Amino acid sequence: MTDNSELAKASAARATAYQRVGIGAGDVVLIARGVSVELYEILLAVFRLGAVAMFPEPAAGLKGLRLATQAVRPKALATAGIGHVLRLVFPELRRLKALPEPDDGAADQEILAHLPGDAPALITFTSGSTGRPKGIVRTADFLMLQHTLLEKLRGTKPGDVDLISLPVFILSNLAAGAASVIPAGKLTRPAKLSGARLRAQIAAHRVNRVVAPPAVCARVADGAQQMEQIEAVFTGGGPVFPNLLHAIARAAPRAAVHAVYGSTEAEPIAHIEMKEITAADWEAMAHGEGLLAGTPIAEIAVEIRDHELFVAGPHVNRGYLDPTDDRSTKCIKGDKMWHRTGDAARMDEQGRVWLLGRREASSGGLFPFAVETAALSWPGVRQAALLAGEPRAKLAVAGDGLSSIALQARAEKLGPIDVVLLQEVPMDKRHNSKADYARLKMLLA
């Protein structure tokens, strides 16, 4: 771990080096680095200068890097290793100024530009699950509001030590004065991380909280020894199914387990703590009534229109870099700008959100999450993904000791569904927490 004073000194040195090569307020810097201490030195250096940090969509690989460059035309590139080679190969990257490493003479200079609240600070891109990645601009005020709302849920204290693989939460920890431990391993393939190595980090650094997507939490929880020191687990960025909640609770019996629902365009939307889930809720999820995401936060308005969830609020993105992307996702109703999430959902009598899966992935009255949540409660099922369609849907499952006859009998109770056994269900590249329905469709064709 690096303490805040070391990080402040390192980021100041980088800011000085960047200023010397002409980076200043309003300049866009494309950052192509893995999650590391150096990444946050660079990010804070960019903020110190009043410049704008831009991150490509990591799941889109080289294509995402080039698309980001074409969409915004940054002034400079902060990268390392193979990134310098790629910069020489592709014209759109070659024209960018390569930011230098700091030298010893820059370490003692302090740079801290004033950044107006409405000034752009961060540009990121969506995962592009419904097409090409879409660019989103966050202002300084927007980032502070998002931090404030997330901290209402997390309640971070200066003494907390968090294992974090969701980069935006590391920014929140820096603001809250808490320590962040970056998981060891390749974070672009979270499902392949070593659970033993993660648990060793937790023990060595006295981690008391985990903040990670479902795939990373599953690796942390996949061990025989209980982690008594863990006080809280926060997971999101993908569906948090009941089997994962139970696995986390077994691995960290003293932890308050939280599931946070949100999206790139609106984070957070809803939240639930595991202890709030009743026996009737578990039963409903096991019988195909959806995935309980919890109560919407007070600062957001939600509506269900034709089974789809719409949201509005001060921390909901009001538009994309390319205005043409707004046509299918934004609408005005009354005095509010609404964002359509693309998620099918329902609201119960308590005002809680139950997720049903992607709206476009439903068919014939069957919704992916409703069936998948139920299937994941069946003995031995580790993964499940539904391809809804007429006249019959296909339910791909993976696990141990599975009987296709027994599973087919269970599936028939949910609707016209054919069960297909797989070794592994293909998952999304970004967090490995969502089924990759496009790849699954090709696999089962």
The pLDDT of residue 312 is 97
Read off the pLDDT of each residue in 293-301 and give the average, rounded to a whole number: 98
The residue behind tokens 């139920």 is: 374
Is the pLDDT score of 233 beyond 60?
yes
Tell me, which fold does domain 4-125 have in CATH? Rossmann fold (3.40.50)
Local confidence band at 149 (pLDDT 50, 70, 90 cut-offs):
very high
The pLDDT of residue 285 is 98
Local confidence band at 15 (pLDDT 50, 70, 90 cut-offs):
very high
d(CA 221, CA 245): 10
Query: DSSP per residue over 79-133, as a string?
Result: E-THHHHHHHHSHHHHTSEEPPPP-GGGTT--------TTSEEEEEE---TTSS-
Is the pLDDT score of 236 beyond 90?
yes
CATH number of 156-261: 3.40.50.980
Domain spans, the chain: 4-125, 156-261, 368-444
Lowest mean pLDDT: which of 22-26, 173-177, 278-282, 404-408?
Answer: 173-177
Asked, colleague to colleague, whether 4-125 and 156-261 share their fold, the answer is yes
Q: Note the helical H segments in 155-194.
A: 167-176
Is the pLDDT score of 243 beyond 60?
yes
Cα dihedral 76, 77, 78, 81 in deg (nearest 10) = -150
Is the pLDDT score of 2 beyond 70?
no
The pLDDT of residue 291 is 98
330 near 319, Cβ under 8 Å? yes
What are 346-380's pLDDT values in tens digits? 999 999 999 999 999 998 899 999 999 999 999 99
Is the pLDDT score of 105 beyond 70?
no
Local confidence band at 106 (pLDDT 50, 70, 90 cut-offs):
low
Is the pLDDT score of 93 beyond 70?
yes
The pLDDT of residue 86 is 77
Read off the pLDDT of each residue in 223-235 and give the average, rounded to a whole number: 94
Lowest mean pLDDT: which of 109-118, 285-294, 335-344?
Answer: 109-118
Is the pLDDT score of 286 beyond 70?
yes
The pLDDT of residue 415 is 95
The pLDDT of residue 434 is 86
The pLDDT of residue 60 is 72
d(CA 247, CA 253): 10
Read off the pLDDT of each residue in 185-198 and give the average, rounded to a whole number: 90
The pLDDT of residue 107 is 57
Local confidence band at 128 (pLDDT 50, 70, 90 cut-offs):
low
The residue with greater pLDDT, 225 or 221, is: 221
Local confidence band at 414 (pLDDT 50, 70, 90 cut-offs):
very high
The pLDDT of residue 57 is 82
The pLDDT of residue 89 is 79
d(CA 42, CA 54): 11
The pLDDT of residue 196 is 96
Give the angle 335-336-337 at the CA atoms, nearest 5°. Answer: 135
Read off the pLDDT of each residue in 211-221 and give the average, rounded to a whole number: 95
Local confidence band at 1 (pLDDT 50, 70, 90 cut-offs):
low
CATH architecture of 368-444: 2-Layer Sandwich (3.30)
The residue with greater pLDDT, 254 or 321, is: 254
Structure tokens at 147: 């931090």
Q: What is the mean pLDDT of the chain?
A: 92
269 near 262, Cβ under 8 Å? yes
Q: What is the DSSP letter of 274?
A: G
